Amino acid sequence: MRIGIIGCGVAGSVLAEMLREAPGFAVDVFDRMARGEEAEAGTGLNCGPNAMKALRLHLPARHAALRAASLPWTRWIIETAEGQRLFDLDLREVAEEPGIRLRWSELYRQLRGPVADATHHGLELVAVEEDAAGRLVPVLEAPDGARLRPRGYELLVAGDGRYSALRRLTAGVPQPALHGIAMTRLLVPDAADCPFDEYGQWFNGNARLLAYRLPGGAAYIAGGFPLASASAEIAPEARTAAFQRALYTPPDGQACPAVAWMVERLAAGVGQIHWARLQDAPLLRTAAAGRVLFLGDAAHAMVPTLGQGATQAIEDGVVAGALLRRGGGAEDVAAWRDTRIDFVRRFSLEATDTMFPGGDPVAGSIAKGEPEFLAKLRRLYTDVPGPEEFAPVRV
């Protein structure tokens, strides 16, 4: 079976590794970035315990490599900006193993390395055609403007992220749902004096800081605060040091050491902050009568509240690979994955309640320690199928 993967992102690279040595498959990966361009990509991220379980069960060598290249994520705390502890969870109480913390660039390096020989860089998808046998042919543009048509594929896979060119060309541009929250991301390269370590959240009203240390002495800080409406733009004054200081500093000015440290770093690095608005996009798994398969953010971009973006992309990649190796197709991936994705998307949005206007960050954070929330968290972190659960789909 000929498979062309558009985008060597998280899901695309995991799928390629799952199939690269499987008999009966010829896999090509096409990525618009030049080789090595991802070396400084992104800030930081946390991958949930469920991603690590998926890798441990299906790609144990990748699991070991990521463990060695990251810091463990074992704890989740929530406090007020003044330092009042509201929630304190050892993730091992609801998961079978810890999650991880690392740079996006390191995640890319670890996942793309094993499929480097099958990856063609610097090629942007601009069209999709069909050959005489009914196979899909990607039309790829090189940096010099030349257009390449490599060959026809029985299956094209979109691993090219939230703004997927393959989804746009075969199913149209998805209409995102905006949720009225501004989001910021900042990498602090030198965080030797950082007064915290593992994953924490701090609330000043509905404004929230989220942060943790990363390998190599860095730290990641993510901010979030309500906008005037769901569709409101981020005002220019929000992008100033003064606004960032006021946003997260308690009314009496007595911030706890962690928040005080983050406020100073946000003010000093305001020009390096990455800005976005909290949003998700409708789930879509297949197109072109099952000849196109969407994975990761190309299929189901979701809010980042529970850190499930890259995590679910990893799950997508291993499950899709396991099904394809057993004779399945895009429709089988949908049958296995979409109910799970619906749950994860709903749960992630539900967990954002403390950030929405009118939400109570204190009561909402305390409620996350109750049995109902913890049961959903346990389902999220452990409900990952192993290879033995995939019976042959077709003979």
* 46, 307 Cβ separation under 8 angstroms: yes
How confident is the prediction along the chain (395 residues), in pLDDT tens digits per residue? 999 999 999 999 999 999 998 999 999 999 999 887 765 567 899 999 999 999 999 999 999 999 999 999 999 999 999 999 999 999 999 999 999 999 999 999 999 999 999 999 999 999 999 999 999 999 999 999 999 999 999 999 999 999 999 999 999 999 999 999 999 999 999 999 999 999 999 999 999 999 999 999 999 999 999 999 999 999 999 999 999 999 999 999 899 999 999 999 999 999 999 999 999 999 999 999 999 999 999 999 999 999 999 999 999 999 999 999 999 999 999 999 999 999 999 999 999 999 998 899 999 999 999 999 999 999 999 999 999 998 655 53
DSSP state letters, 180-196 = EEEEEEEEES--TT-S-
pTM of the model: 0.96
Q: Which residues fall within 8 angstroms of residue 286, CB to CB, at 6 or more apart? A: 292, 293, 294, 330, 331, 333, 334
- Domains along the chain? 2-175+280-389 (3.50.50.60)
For residue 73, what are its two tokens? 């994520």
Nearest 5°: the CA angle 26, 30, 36 is 120
